Chain A
Amino acid sequence: MNHTVLVCDDAIFMRTMISDILSQAGFEVVGEAESGLQAVEKYRELKPDLVTMDIVMPDMGGIEAVREICKTDPDAKILMCSAMGQQALVVEAIQAGAKDFVVKPFQPSRVLEAVQRVLA
């Protein structure tokens, strides 16, 4: 069975792009969230195998969302999506429980490598 993914980003552009990369690689995108709050709710509802999480989002940022999700599921497989220069935030997200990260602009191969590591 294909792995299920929840894509969280406040920009439709990014969500579409990530969804495309992952769908073409055989993943099943089961949900999208445009805020941290939604990400937490959808995670609980959908129990996806993988989450991609933008750091900066309205209504609870990505890091807080990671913390919330990991509170109930410490093994949640969350991949952070970060922009250049956000290293401190990425470190914080990792300490909150994120399992790996990719840096924008995305190269499909890089994204898939990170996804494989997280799901390994």
Chain B
Amino acid sequence: MARRSVSRGVPGWWSIPRRSFLRGGAAMIGLPILDIMGPSLKRAQAAGAPPPRRFVTFGIPAGVNTAAWKPTGTGTGYTLSSTLMPLAPLKNDVSILMGVNNNPANGPRGHTCGIGAFLTCFKIPMTDPGVTESISADQVAANYLKQFTKLPSIELTTRILHETPNAESGFSPAYKNVVSWTNATTSLPFEEVPLNAFNRLFGTSTTTIPAGNSTAATKQAMYRKSVLDSVAADIAAIAARGSAADQAKMDQYLTSLRQLETEITTNPPPSPSSCMPGTPPPAGRPSDMNIQAHVKQMLDIMVMAMQCDATRVLTFYYENTVTSIVHSFLNVNVDYHGSVTHHNNDPQKLAWYATVNNWQVSQLAYLLTQMKAIQEPDGTLLDNSVVFFSSEISDGNSHSHSDLPIVLAGRGGGMLTPGRAIQFQNANVSQLFISMLATVGVSVKSFGDGTSPLPGI
């Protein structure tokens, strides 16, 4: 097997597991070897195509117990804190960044302004119901990386926030329940149902195409495209007569249509024999009692999405910025936002806070471990990624946005040097995003309130 030599003997996607290989055998007969190895490798091997680089963000709500979070010392010889202890086996793959602020998050509403600036570093204006945002860092990456994959990006959560009337007076609720923005007014909604995310990444269209019937598949794709052509004409007719606001919506419509059209016409779903997503997760949104399984399903889907090269930009946000989830499995039997993160320096609440933070970090460790286990031609999947783990708030009681808790993981294809605790003086998250974007091949001079990269990471 040619692939074995590439994989340097380490099991992983690039060396297709033998069992999968046998299972997919029937469909593979007669296909050239490259066709069964997946689109990513093919592209990577094509002249001039860059090797896959991934941009991952992992958000946790409402800050951390900052005292329990802070590591001791700096540089490579630092000591992990109790909260960060789950990262011990990955210490050489992560850096702990301190003294990094998100100043545009400062505003009259800690959660709303924080989440509004979380990935955008944009100070949202007090508008309601309309919104004025700015493109988020993940979407800057997606604008470039989408040419290589089925989907430009995915945005996953375990709980979509749905607040309507007067939830945060003065600010539209539309600011608070998303983190990814493609432009000033278009946000990308979260997916909270694992099966939906799974089908979106790995499924085919709802139209049943007989297995192996490429003629039927081709015809179906042609029909779908014809429908989209007709719809595009309707969009244009409305846009021609609408106001600026109407035209903006028709722009959203046409952009969405074009994205699906691209998917239909140029990026067939990964062949089952090259990408084995495994058993789909159960239907529906897991109950609160199954929050651990819910998180694991989402993280597994993310790893598989990267392994299959279905997308290179992945955002996961645990719950939402004001979640009331009760972490019974950690013996924290009160709601998280109201009775834990608003700790009032109550020692019991601070202890609960640290307990939950520790578990959240263990989920990051799980994600990183899975990424590290996948060998690619030029390193592990984790080596070829940059992972940003943080919150929109530093301390949940003060709702401050300074000195945010940040774990930066992965080597960004060799552009990052993890394994350290780094103390900055008044650095900005926006600078970090500029640096992170560089690792995926996107060169920007400024982003948000940042005008230079973050040095020394």
Query: Is B truly associated with A?
Result: no
Binding site for A on B (CB under 8 A): none
A interface with B by C-beta (< 8 Å): none
